[in-house]
Structure 1
Amino acid sequence: MARKYSRSASKDVARTLRKRKKGTLKSGRSGKKVKSRKQAIAIGLSEARRKGKKVPSRKKGRKKSKKKRL
């Protein structure tokens, strides 16, 4: 079975995780510091996609809906 992600894509993800741990990784529009590990991985994968590396396309419609409480 073929690899899902290229090795260079995994290096990009590892780089973003190191940046997060160091405290220098910031999110796109707001520029806030990234604290979540999952968010750091997502940023690394999206950067790899932009560079044209072998990464599967993003899943659409995976948003969690928040229930309103009164």
Structure 2
Amino acid sequence: MSLRFRQALSGLLRKGQQVKSPSPDPAGSVAATSSPRLRRWSCRISFFLRPTKVATFRRVSMPPKKSSGRKYSKKAGKAVKREMHKMKRGTLKSGRSGKKVKSRKQAIAIGLSEARRSGAKVPKKKS
């Protein structure tokens, strides 16, 4: 009788009760000679009787992650904030045409480009 099976039975049997390894009948249930408590919990004990399979997985290591520093500097955030306020007040004008900027995305783009010019940490343009 395996150690795992004995540990499972220890909680089910009363003091002084003899433990014989239960012989399962062809239907899969525990034999009628075992205790009623054992029969009641036979489905749970059957888990311990199954042979264990050890799965072997090949681990693919991920490349080391770079330091999680800031993508945009505080200075860049302040520049965008300043441009957003100008847009909300209606004083933000686009560079070439001089028209009033109404789009939120356009205001952010103007703020980031000004931050780039002043030397703040801002990622490169994608296009």
TM-score (norm 1): 0.84
Cα RMSD, aligned residues only: 0.4
List per-residue Cα deviations over 1:2-46 (Å, max 9, x = no partner).
100000110000000000000000000000000000000000000
Which 5+ residue runs of structure 1 have no aligned equivalent?
Answer: 61-70
Superposed, which structure 2 residues align to 1:5-20 within 5 Å?
5-20=72-87
Q: Structure 2 unaligned runs (5+)?
A: 1-67
2:120 is paired with a residue whose SS is: coil
User: How big is the shift at 1:58?
Assistant: 0.5
The ranges of structure 1 where at least 4 consecutive aligned residues each deviate by more than 4 angstroms after the TM superposition are: none
What is the DSSP-based 3-state SS (H/G/I as helix, E as strand, rest coil) of the residue aligned with 1:59? coil
Question: Which residue, 98, 109, 112 being the options, matches 1:42?
Answer: 109
Matches within 5 A, 1:1-70: 1-60=68-127
What residue number does 1:64 align with?
none
The size of the alignment, in residue pairs, is 60
Identical positions, percent = 72
Question: Which TM-score applies when normalising by structure 2?
Answer: 0.47
Higher relative contact order (CA 8 A, sep 6+): 1
